[in-house]
Structure 1
Amino acid sequence: MTGPAVAAVRRAVRAFLDAVEAPPELCVAVSGGADSLALAEAAAYVGHHRGHVVRALVVDHGLQEGSAKVAADAAAAAKALGADEAEVRRVDVTGPGGPEAAARKARYRALAGHGLVLLGHTLDDQAETVLLGLGRGSGPRSVAGMRPHDPPWGRPLLAVGRATTRAACAELGVEPWDDPHNAESRFTRVRLRTEVLPLLEDVLNGGVAAALARTAAQLREDNEALDTVADTIFTRAGGPDGLDVGVLAPEPAAVRRRVLRRWLLASDVRELTDAHLRAVDALVARWRGQGGVWLPGNLEARRCRGRLCVVSQPTTRGE
C-alpha cells in the first residue's frame, strides 16, 4: 500500500504532466538526495502508466572525495525505483561566481539537450530563492522564483515540502544521500535554510515557506501579464534594430523597462543589471541631451534622432 508521502509526490508529478506536453522520454536529474529520489520514483510510476521512457541523469561534480561512488549509487537507486535507464555525467566545475554558481552552471550544461528534464526543487527551495531575490533587490523576476515549467526544465515539486520527500523515501525504504555541502554555513543558501527560514517560521508562527511560494506564484502571473503588454509595445516601437522613443515615452515605467530589457537582451547585452536598465530608461523618460550609456560587452546605448540604438565600442571604458 502506498504511503501518504509517496502518494503526494506522485500526485504532484501527475498534475505537472497533465499541464505540459511531455515528450516520449522523461529525464530526471538525480543527485541521490531525498528530493530527487522521491521525484525519480514518482516520475517512473506515473510516466510508465502514460507510456513514457524514464531516464535518470546523475551529474558527478567531482568536488568531493568519493563523488564517483555517490553518483554510481544514485544511478543504481534510480533504477531500483523504476527508471528505465540511468546515466552518470562527469563535469569540471570552473568559472566565476564562487563554487555554488560554478557547480550550478556545470550541472545545467550537463543536463541540457533533452526535451524535458525534471528537477527536484521543492517548496522549500522556492522559498529560499524568493528570499535571495528579496535580499539582493533584484526585482520582481527574481522574487517570482522558479517557474514550474521553464523548457527544458520541469519542476513538479514546487508545492511539495522537503519533509514530504524525506518521508516518501522512508516509505519506499530508500536511504537518501545527504550532501555535506548542505551543512556548510559558508554557503548563503545553507544559512537561509538552517538559520533564516527557521527564525521566520518561529517569529511569524509558521507557514512562511508556503507564503513565500504563493507570493512567487502571484508575481509570476503579474510578470506574464506585463510582459504580454511589453511585447506589443516592443513591436510598435520598432523591434531589435532600434526603438522609437515617442512610442516608449508615454508608457508606464514598469512596461517601458520590460520593453528595454527585451531589446537590450536581443542586442546581445549580457549581465544586464537594474542600474544599466534604469540608465537606459533615463534616455527616454529623463532626456536632457545626455550621452550614451555604457553596457557590458563594449556596447553603448544611445539616443539619436528620436530613436534608441546600441552600438559597439572598440575599447572598454577607461582604456
Structure 2
Amino acid sequence: MDRPGALSGLRATLARYARTHLGDARRWCVALSGGPDSLALTAAAAPVLPTAALIVDHGLQASSTRVAEAAREQAMHLGCVEAQVITVSVGGVGGPEAAARTARYAALEEARAGAPVLIGHTLDDQAETVLLGLGRGSGPRSISGMRPYDPPWCRPLLGVRRAVTAAVCTELGLTAWRDPHNHDRRFTRSRLRNEVLPLLEDVLGGGVAEALARTATALREDAEVLDADAERALQHASAGPGGRRAAELDAGVLAALPAALRRRAIRSWLAAGGAAGLTDKQIRAVDALTSDWHGQGGVAVGGRLAHTRLIAERRDGRLRLRTEPV
C-alpha cells in the first residue's frame, strides 16, 4: 500500500499524466540526476511500468562518477528494472549550461531505445524558464516554457512544486544529491532561483512561480493554434509544380499574411532548412525580406554545419537559403 502524503500524491499526478499522454506505453525511462526531483519521479514511476533509469555523467565535477553511481544504486533500490550511467563529453557551444543540456539530451535520445523519457522538471523550473525567456526578449515562444509532452520527452511534474519532491525523498529516507551548480552565482538560472524569484515573491506578495507557470500554459495554448495556421500558410507559400512542397517560398504569399503567422512560417522554414539557435532579431530580419522589401541583401542565420553559415535571401520574388563558408 502506498504511504500517505507526498508520495501518493505524486503517484496520482503521474497516473493522470500517463492516462492523458502515455496510454500505450509498456515501459518508460527516467532521466535521473540523483537530485530530489528526479529521485521522487523515479520512486513514483518504478511501480507503475518497467522503468529504466538513465543517469548522465557530464564529468563537470570531481565527484560526478560517485554521484552517478549513487544514483544508479538508488534507482535499483526503488524498483527500476535497469539503471545505466552514460558518460558524455560536454562541448562549449552556447555556454556551459546550454552545452551540458545538448550533451545530456543527445545521450538520452540514444539510450532510450524507443521508450518515452520522464524528466523531473517542476513548476519551479518552469517559472525560471519563463523568466529566462522574458529577459532574452525572444517573443512569445520563449516565454511559453517547457511543453509537458514533447515526444519523447515527458514532464509530468510541471504542476508540482519542488517542496513536494523534497517531501517524497524525506518520506522514503532517500539522500538526494544537491548540485553545487544550483547555488553558483556564475550560472544565470542559479541566480534566478536563489535571488530573483525570491525577491519577486517578496515584492508581489507570493504566488509568482504559479503565475509564471500559468502564463506559460496560456501562451503555449495560443501558440499551438497559431503554429498550426502558420504551417498551412507555409505549405501554400512553398507550393511548387503539381502542389509539391518546394524549398523556396513565395514572398508575395508571405507578405499577405498577418505578421504573427508570417514570422512563425518563416521560423519553421528556416529551422527545416538547417538554421539553429534562431533569434527574434534574425527572424524579423528575414521577415523584412517580404514585409519591407527594398532590395536589401541576405540575412545570415546560424546553421548546424561547422565552418559554414546559412544565408536567407530574396531573388525573383522568392525566399531561398544558401550556404557559404565562414
Coarse TM-score class (shorter-chain normalised): over 0.9
Counterpart selection for 2:258 from 252, 263, 272:
252
User: Is the 1:242–1:309 Cα contact (8 Å) retained in structure 2?
Assistant: yes
Q: Secondary structure at the match of 1:298?
A: strand
Residue 240 of structure 1 deviates from its aligned partner by 4.6
Q: CA deviation at 1:185?
A: 1.4
Secondary structure (helix, strand or coil) at the match of 2:313 reads: strand
TM-score by length of 1: 0.93
CA distance in 2, matches of 1:3, 1:287: 64
- Distance in 2 between residues matched to 1:311 and 1:70, nearest whole Å: 46
Q: Are residue 295 (structure 1) and residue 306 (structure 2) matched?
A: no
Structure 1: distance between partners of 2:236 and 2:45: 44
Per-residue deviation, residues 24-72 of structure 1 (Å, max 9, x unmatched) = 2210011111101100011112x2xxxx311111111222223212111
Aligned to 2:28: 26
Structure 2 partner of 1:212 = 212
Cα distance in 2 for partners of 1:312, 1:67 equals 40
2:278 is equivalent to residue 272 of structure 1: yes
State the 4+ residue runs in structure 1 displaced beyond 6 angstroms: none
Distance across 1 between alignment mates of 2:179 and 2:322: 47
Provide the C-alpha distance between the structure 2 equivalents of 1:244 and 1:106, rounded to a whole number of angstroms. 37
TM-superposed deviation, 1:170: 0.7
Residues 240 and 266 in structure 1, CA contact (< 8 A), matched pair in contact too:
no
Residue in structure 1 matched with residue 200 of structure 2 by the alignment? 200
Quote the offset at 1:3 in angstroms.
Answer: 2.8
Partner SS state of residue 303, structure 1: strand
- Deviation per CA, 1:167-206, whole angstroms, max 9, x where unpaired? 1111112121111221211111111111111111111111
Residues 65 and 255 of structure 1, relative CA distance in 2, 3 Å threshold: same
Partner of 1:261: 267
Q: Match for residue 229 of structure 1? A: 229
Match of 2:44 in 1: 42
Partner of 1:129: 129
How far off its partner does 1:308 sit?
Answer: 1.4
Contact 1:227 1:255 in 2 (8 A): yes
Q: How does 1:28-177 map to 2 (within 5 A)?
A: 28-45=30-47, 47=48, 52-113=49-110, 114=112, 115-177=115-177
Q: CA deviation at 1:284?
A: 0.8
The alignment's C-alpha RMSD in Å is 1.5
1:290 Cα deviation from its structure 2 partner = 2.3
Q: Secondary structure at the match of 2:46?
A: helix
Contact preservation (8 Å) 1:60, 1:90 = yes
Question: Which SS does the other structure have where 1:282 is aligned?
Answer: helix
Residue 300 of structure 2 aligns to a residue in which SS?
Answer: strand
Q: Tell me the SS of whatever aligns to 1:171.
A: helix
Q: Which residue of 2 aligns with 1:178?
A: 178
Matched, 1:284 2:274: no
How is 1:2-21 mapped onto 2 (pairs within 5 angstroms)? 2-21=3-22
Q: Distance in 2 between matches of 1:291 and 1:94?
A: 33
**C-alpha deviations, 1:234-278, integer Å up to 9, x for none?**
111114511112211121111000111111112222232222211
Q: Give the aligned residue type for 1:308.
A: L
Name the CA shift for 1:295/1:102 in 2 (closer, same or farther; >3 Å): closer
TM-score, normalised via structure 2 length:
0.91
Contact kept, 8 Å, 1:240 with 1:263, in 2: the verdict is no
Q: 1:261 to 1:80 in 2, by over 3 A?
A: same
Q: CA deviation at 1:289?
A: 2.4
Cα deviation 1:122-170 (Å, max 9, x = unaligned): 0000000000000111211110010011111111100000000001111
The alpha carbon displacement at 1:302 in A equals 2.2
Q: Which SS does the other structure have where 1:294 is aligned? A: strand
Aligned partners of 1:44 and 1:54 also within 8 Å = yes
How far apart, CA to CA, are the structure 1 residues paired with 2:187 and 2:312?
36
Partner of 2:242: none
Residues in 2 aligned to 1:10 and 1:290: alpha-carbon distance in whole angstroms: 57
